[in-house]
Amino acid sequence: MLENHKFLVILKIFALVFIVGACKQPDNTDLIKVFPDKYVKSQGNSNLPIYHLQRNHITIRDYENNKIDTLSILFPDLSKAIDTAYTYIQFMDDTLRSLKNKILILPVNYSTDTISLYCDLNNNLDLTDDGEPFILTSELKEVSIPIESPYEKGAIHYSVFYFPSYTKQSSIDNIENIFKGYAREKQKVSARYWFGKSSMNIISKDVVIGNDSVKIALIDNNENSLFNEMYKDKIVITQYGSDKVPDMFYEGAVLLEKNVRITTGRNGFEVDSISANGKFIGLRKISIDSVPERLLIGDKIPDFKFLSLKGDSISIYDFIEPGKKTYLEFWFIGCTGCMYLIPYIEEMHHDHNDKIKVISFNYEQSLNEVKKFVKDRNLDSPYGVVSRGTWKSLYGEYAPWGILLNENGRIEEFGVWGDEILKRYNKKE
């Protein structure tokens, strides 16, 4: 009887071991674990960049004259301010980059839901003699700032929009739609700007994986302290020990989505899991051949078709001329920056066509609308029409969006404006 009892006990133990083994989690020995621990807050780009104050002076580089200016500013009482910074409006027809031809603006409490906007309307670097500050709120409010222009008689009204963060706006398209609305209604506003606390939280770790020494970083793109949101946040592998974490797609950042794959250049990895706080990343090594290719600087521009103003479908490689650089500009009617660049594009086409070919691609309007626009303004440089998808596939996130190709049709720069390229050619002569 006792022996039978022992046999039953042993049988139960074996059964329990079998059940536990059957319920055991899959083997994770091939999971590469990374524990990010370095936080960085990166200030994103906006049409009006925010610069932090340095006591009662501003240091700004004068690129035209290659020198640094230190300017003393008279500020209002900022003793109760939560945070302050400065920005400026530059006249659109001004090519100088020194502060003397800009209008100084002081955003006070810019990280809160209500912001005070002090504007140096008389351009004397005194922010105490211009009346009460303008007030902006997080609910997509707008103020019209009248500024006396040195180039035109009377005041020009500059319209300023404020978005405190990406979480308080539906998308960047929101801004584009507002701009289009202004263009349709033909309101008499000379220029439109927006600014905001468009910073990002970044958490990273320098790691050695096999024969690769890399920095792996997660980018909380909408700044809500979550690092694993699908189709919002990003992951990037960059240079070991580097302080800079690329946040743009064309710099290597990858949007988090299902089965997202990244590469160090020699090895490929699939993202298995990411904790919400960003302090754990699980990776699995995969064949580098299974990692989707990404368009980076130095790559050949992918072939795409565009419609000429005659209505012909043309390959971009039929336009590119070996031995010459090529500048591709993507734009739409109603875009303030695009309108600003038109004379520079025309001048580059007329004066430097032996060295660089330029073409402007509209991705919003119809062929007939673009033809009328070009004809009404007697423009001579080449124009074409592409789909919005083509613009997006070349990392277009805003307009104007420029891409410079070298003499072999390889990408030399993303996001460069035509006035900057023209300046380079003019300096060479």
pTM of structure: 0.56
The pLDDT tens digits of the residues spanning 192-248 come to 555 554 567 889 999 998 888 999 999 987 667 889 998 888 999 988 988 778 877
Phi-psi sector, 154: left (phi>0), alpha (psi -120 to 50), beta: left
- Quote the pLDDT of residue 21: 44
pLDDT of residue 173 exceeding 60: no
Least confident range from 52-61, 116-125, 396-405: namely 52-61
- Give, in order, the Cα–Cα distances in Å from 150 to each of 24, 91, 101, 126, 183: 76, 9, 9, 18, 25
**What's the pLDDT score for residue 18?**
44
Give the orientation angle of helix 418-428 with respect to helix 336-351, to 10 degrees. Answer: 30
User: Comparing C-alpha atoms, which of 16, 38, 24 is closest to residue 238?
Assistant: 38
pLDDT at residue 188 in the model: 37
User: For 252-306, how does the pLDDT look when each residue is reduced to its tens digit (9 = 90+)?
Assistant: 888 898 889 998 878 899 999 999 999 999 999 999 888 887 888 889 999 999 9
182 or 379, greater pLDDT: 379
What mean pLDDT comes out for the span 344-367? Answer: 94
Tokens of 172: 């960047």
Q: What span, in angstroms and rounded, lies between the C-alpha atoms of 148 and 37?
A: 50
Can you give the length of the chain in residues? 429
Contact 78, 108 (CB under 8 A): yes
If one compares 142 and 306, the residue with the highest pLDDT of the two is 306
For residue 157, which of 134, 126, 139 has the smallest C-alpha distance?
134
Average pLDDT over residues 131-148: 74
pLDDT at 134 over 70: yes
pLDDT for 55: 55
Residue 125: the pLDDT is 81
Average pLDDT in the 161-166 region?
53
Judged against a pLDDT cut of 90, whether residue 122 lies above it is answered with no
Give the confidence band of 174 by pLDDT, cuts at 50, 70, 90. Answer: very low
What pLDDT does residue 292 have? Answer: 82
Q: What is the pLDDT of residue 32?
A: 92
What CA–CA distance (Å, rounded) separates 132 from 145? 12
Model pLDDT, residue 228: 93
Residue at token pair 């090529």: 326
Q: Mean pLDDT in the chain?
A: 77
* Beta carbons of 385 and 370 less than 8 angstroms apart: yes
44 pLDDT higher than 80: no
357, pLDDT greater than 90 = yes
Supply the pLDDT for residue 191: 45
pLDDT score for 183: 41
> Rounded CA gap, 308 and 72, in Å?
52
Res 7: pLDDT: 52
Is the link from the previous residue into 146 a cis peptide, with omega within 30 of 0?
no
State the DSSP code for 69: E
156/94: higher pLDDT? 156
pLDDT at 140 over 60: no
pLDDT exceeds 50 at position 421: yes
What is the per-residue pLDDT across 405-417, written as a single tens digit (0 to 9) for each? 999 999 999 888 8
Are 161 and 175 in contact by the 8 Å Cβ rule? The answer is: yes
CA distances, 278 to each of 166, 179, 226, 228, 275 (Å): 19, 36, 7, 7, 5
CA distance 191 to 377: 20
Residues of the chain with pLDDT > 90, as a percent, come to: 31
Residue type, 205: K
Q: What domains can you pick out in the chain, each with its CATH number?
A: 51-196 (no CATH), 200-290 (no CATH), 305-428 (3.40.30.10)
R_g over Cα of the chain: 27
Min mean pLDDT across 46-55, 78-87, 210-219, 235-244 is at: 46-55
Q: How confident is the model over 351-366, as a mean pLDDT? A: 94
CA 374/CA 299 separation, integer angstroms: 32
